[in-house]
């Protein structure tokens, strides 16, 4: 059996799949299999794979379209290796040594169930290194539930984990990656991290998470699901964060807050703070602009990856 199962769910993007497969075949570490599960309409990707004549690549064209998360899990279900390495098809390995370094993280830390790296974020216009905040790793080591405060692990392609049958939770939507990591860390809270950008993440507007609006109820439902499933009300930081960033901002009521272990005082205090610091200033600016007393100012552009900070770099 191969040591590593590289799991690649694909859908109608033969150009990106070729880039990924090229990066895999350049890896100095070779004890792997590649499991491709294809939700595509045509046969372009199948023709690409058959033309490579590489027995390490196992290809399956789904008889019916499974959809995002279900196809992701179908690729993982094919894994026979000791380690699972998810690679979304629009991502690729940054260096020929990337897979070797990821495998080494788990080999040299047998107590850890999960390893992850930094990544390069790459679009048609720019490329920059994603960088976790200084307190993220210590916070996550202190209590794995603190991941709820912000997913700075990154995209699933940034990770590698021991194959114990863990898959994406098919009840999740926008936060499916965070739910996967919480599943893994709840089973084994020990992890390994490197700040090397071993994986490159292809960024484009067609990505799954870009199909959600800022106030999409599915986002709130994912956070509520994580909060309840992993008993996060027992963690004070998680409780305060969920109240401030989701219950209040998504307009949920006192009854839900109470079921989440939040007191009436904390609920109404957070609601007042949100009105005073967010709603009222916005209303004032809108009125002043309408009266012609204030011009809209262009905010300084910053780069952030969800809750994780990024360090901008020039493309090579």
Distance CA 137, CA 193 (A): 8
Residue 273 binned pLDDT confidence (cut-offs 50, 70, 90): confident
Cβ count within 10 A of residue 98: 23
State yes or no: pLDDT of 316 exceeds 90: no
pLDDT at 298: 46
Instruction: Supply the pTM of this predicted model.
Output: 0.86
Residue 99 binned pLDDT confidence (cut-offs 50, 70, 90): very high
From 107-111, 123-127, 157-161, 312-316, the region with the lowest mean pLDDT: 312-316
Distance CA 196, CA 116 (A): 10
pLDDT at 300: 42
pLDDT at 9: 97
pLDDT at 198: 98
pLDDT at 162: 98
pLDDT at 304: 41
How far CA 71 is from CA of 39, 48, 159, 252, 312, in Å, comes to 7, 19, 18, 33, 33
From 17-26, 141-150, 219-228, 270-279, the region with the lowest mean pLDDT: 270-279
pLDDT at 210: 56
State yes or no: pLDDT of 310 exceeds 60: no
Mean pLDDT of the chain: 89
pLDDT at 208: 58
Q: β-pairing, 83-86 with 159-162?
A: antiparallel
The tens digit of pLDDT for each residue in 191-218 reads 999 999 999 999 866 655 555 577 789 9
Strands (E) in the chain, as ranges, are 4-10, 32-38, 57-61, 83-86, 91-93, 114-122, 127-130, 159-162, 191-202, 304-305, 308-313
């Amino acid at each position: 059996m191969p040591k590593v199962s590289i799991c690649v769910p694909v859908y109608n993007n033969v150009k990106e799949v070729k880039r990924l497969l090229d990066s895999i075949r350049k890896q100095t570490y070779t004890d792997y299999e590649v499991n491709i599960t294809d939700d595509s309409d045509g046969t372009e990707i199948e023709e690409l794979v058959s033309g490579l004549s590489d027995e390490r690549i196992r290809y399956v064209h789904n008889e019916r379209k499974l959809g995002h998360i279900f196809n992701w899990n179908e690729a993982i279900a094919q894994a026979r290796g000791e380690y699972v390495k998810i690679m979304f098809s629009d991502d690729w390995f940054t260096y020929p040594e990337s897979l070797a370094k990821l495998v080494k993280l788990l080999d040299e830390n047998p107590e850890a169930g999960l390893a992850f790296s930094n990544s390069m974020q790459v679009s048609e216009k720019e490329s920059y290194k994603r960088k976790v905040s200084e307190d993220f790793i210590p916070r996550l080591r202190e209590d794995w539930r603190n991941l709820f405060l912000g997913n700075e692990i990154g995209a699933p392609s940034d990770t590698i984990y021991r194959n114990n049958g863990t898959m994406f939770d098919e009840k999740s939507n926008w936060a499916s990656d965070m739910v996967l990591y919480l599943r893994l860390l709840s089973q084994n809270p020990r992890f390994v991290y490197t700040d090397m950008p071993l994986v490159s993440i292809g960024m484009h507007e067609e990505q799954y998470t870009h199909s959600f609006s800022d106030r999409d109820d599915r986002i709130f439902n994912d956070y509520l699901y994580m909060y309840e499933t992993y008993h996060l009300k027992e963690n004070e930081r998680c409780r305060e964060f969920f109240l401030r960033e989701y219950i209040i901002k998504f307009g949920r009521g006192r009854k839900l807050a109470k079921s989440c272990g939040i007191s009436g005082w904390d609920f109404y205090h957070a609601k007042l703070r949100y009105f005073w610091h967010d709603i009222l200033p916005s209303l004032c600016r809108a009125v002043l602009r309408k009266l012609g007393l204030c011009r809209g100012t262009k905010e300084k552009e910053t780069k952030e990856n969800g809750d994780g900070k990024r360090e901008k770099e020039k493309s090579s």
